[in-house]
Homo-oligomer: A and B are copies of this chain.
């Protein structure tokens, strides 16, 4: 499984978009600044997210990015898929003529398939709406803490 900085930045940026682009587009630059991400790197990430249909863009001055779907419809799985490619552990053909076919099959079914299933279990069931909610609740909590 891959979970690179790219995916991490992607999720951060999408939560940022969910919170900050409710009504209109938000510039990449502002997202980058708010979250301490290199703007040029974030461009590559947004390009991939746009190609995957997760966000859409408005060109030109005062342009920016918006979510292309409701937060409830965007899953962590989709985001990782768009940025890091297949997040599953990939099957590997066992070497020609070796007698480990059976062993490979065993590892595939007892370890790899199991892990992949659990990954789906988590990643397809966390939506951007969940993430946004969790974030806002934490913020609220921290605000309250501050005033005590």
Kindly identify, within residues 58 to 111 of chain A, every residue whose CB is under 8 Å from any CB belonging to chain B: 76, 89, 92, 94-100, 102-107, 109-111
User: Is B110 in contact with A36, judged by CB distance below 8 angstroms?
Assistant: no
Q: Is the CB of B107 within 8 A of A36?
A: no
Number of copies: 2
Q: Is A28 an interface residue (CB 8 A)?
A: no
* B contact residues around A104 at 8 Å (CB): 12
In the complex formed, the residue of B with least CB distance to A38 is B95
Cα A94 to Cα B12 in complex, Å, equals 11
Asked whether B95 lies within 8 Å of A123 as measured between CB atoms, the reply is: no
- Shortest beta-carbon distance, A44 to chain B, in Å? 17
The interface on chain A, measured as residues whose beta carbon lies within 8 A of the other chain's beta carbons, has a size of 48
Residues in B with CB closer than 8 Å to A122 are 111, 114-115, 118
Closest B residue, CB atoms, query A97: B36
CB distance from A71 to the nearest CB of B (A): 13
**Minimal beta-carbon separation of A137 from chain B (angstroms):** 9
A125 to chain B, nearest CB (A): 9
What are 25 A-B contacts with C-beta separation under 8 Å? A1-B3, A1-B89, A3-B112, A3-B115, A11-B111, A12-B104, A15-B103, A15-B106, A15-B107, A16-B100, A16-B103, A35-B100, A36-B95, A36-B98, A37-B95, A102-B139, A102-B142, A103-B135, A106-B131, A106-B138, A110-B131, A110-B134, A111-B131, A115-B119, A118-B121
